[in-house]
Structure 1
Amino acid sequence: MNIPNILTIIRFLLVPVFGHFLYNGEYIIAIVIFISACITDVLDGVIARKFNLITSFGKLADPLADKCLQLTALTILTMQKIIPLPVLIIVLAKEIFMIAGSILIYKKVNFVVQANWYGKMTTVIFSFAIVMTIILYSSRIADSYTSLIINIFVFIAVFSTLFSFFMYSMEFRKLTNKK
């Protein structure tokens, strides 16, 4: 077990803690935990690459931890009627297809799919959208434009998710056509 993998496990452990505070409307604590989890994501990637500590566990668990964090946020924000249900459905469907595709690729060509620039970009955009949504929703300066601004952030994040899914689909297609 190396430091990047430990940071990934910490991120997994932060998911239910974050979910608890977000669900109970303790938004400042939830944001601090969410941002802390995002920082562990950056740190584990930098450390793994810099010190050549990339492992199969890390390739699989790191993006899974990110998705658990994001899906927890989206599920709770959807339950609280802050984010529309179709957003959660789109993101959840994409993640299910990605997991199924990754398993198929591994079984067919013994290749562990890892994050690419568009997956990382989507993670950053979605994380930013989640943080901004929580800040704007919980803000004392919320006004009639708050909902519009939240929808813009979320729309950009969903568009990024769909772009990422398209790019991964193209990559999966190339890999499965090799054998």
Structure 2
Amino acid sequence: MNVPNLLTLCRFALVPLYLVVFFSGHPYATQWAFVVLLTAGLTDIIDGYLARKYKQVTDIGIMLDPLADKLMMIAVILSFVLTGRISWLAAVVFFVRDIGMIVGSALFHLNGKRPLPANALGKATTVLFYITFLLIMFDYPYAENVLWAVIAFSFVTSFNYLIKYKRINAT
């Protein structure tokens, strides 16, 4: 197990930590939950950088890295909907897209298809979601509108990913 993959595994542990902190009832729960979310985001950047710089990119890392991102995003969206920060409809549309990507990736992997590493659009989508989460956490007035725009963008990037995936696995 290399360092980038270990960092990815640490991000999985941050998911339940985020939920515990967010729902703790502590007066600064939102701020501390944001610190956990920020740590997950920074760890994501660092593990990707290290994997590329030291040529430690692995198939398991290619699969686990976006899964860790998606699980954190699902936890964050769930925390927002349960506290009334966003609508159930926004959460459902978000979940449909993310669960579809998770299940699709798993099925492709189980069928022996080559994994496709994250591309610039996918990374941009993740960054946009993190920025939007910040807006929602700190009650920006139009945060849900921003979320809808990012969700729409995420569907575009998902279709782009599927097209590229089909292309590299066509042979």
TM-score scaled to structure 2, two decimals? 0.89
CA separation of 1:114/1:76 partners in 2, compared to 1, >3 Å: closer, same or farther? same
Select the residue among 46, 56, 64 that pairs with 1:53: 56
**Counterpart check, 1:7 vs 2:7:** yes
Amino acid at match of 1:19: L
Query: Cα offset for 1:167?
Result: 1.1
Partner of residue 35, structure 1: 38
Q: Distance in 2 between matches of 1:70 and 1:170?
A: 23
Secondary structure class of the residue paired with 1:24? coil
Amino acid at match of 1:126: F
Q: Distance in 2 between matches of 1:14 and 1:170?
A: 31
Amino acid at match of 1:13: A
Partner of residue 76, structure 2: 73
Select the residue among 72, 87, 91 that pairs with 2:94: 91
The answer as to whether partners of 1:15 and 1:69 remain within 8 angstroms in 2 is yes
Query: Could you give the per-residue CA deviations for residues 48-106 of structure 1, whole angstroms, max 9, x where no partner exists?
Result: 00000111121011111111111100011011110111221112111222233323433
Q: Distance in 2 between matches of 1:63 and 1:107?
A: 16
CA separation of 1:132/1:74 partners in 2, compared to 1, >3 Å: closer, same or farther? same
Q: Tell me the matched-pair count.
A: 168
Partner of residue 146, structure 2: 153
Identity over aligned pairs, percent = 28
Larger Rg: 1
The answer as to whether partners of 1:8 and 1:44 remain within 8 angstroms in 2 is yes
Amino acid at match of 1:164: T
Of 37-46 and 19-28, deviating more is 19-28
Cα RMSD (Å) of the superposition?
1.8
Q: Distance in 1 between matches of 2:81 and 2:14?
A: 20
Q: Unaligned stretches of 5+ in structure 2?
A: none
Query: Cα offset for 1:175?
Result: 5.0
Partner of residue 162, structure 2: 169
TM-score scaled to structure 1, two decimals? 0.85
The answer as to whether partners of 1:105 and 1:175 remain within 8 angstroms in 2 is no
Alignment map for 1:18-29 (pairs within 5 Å) = 18-25=18-25, 26-29=29-32
Q: Distance in 2 between matches of 1:125 and 1:95?
A: 15
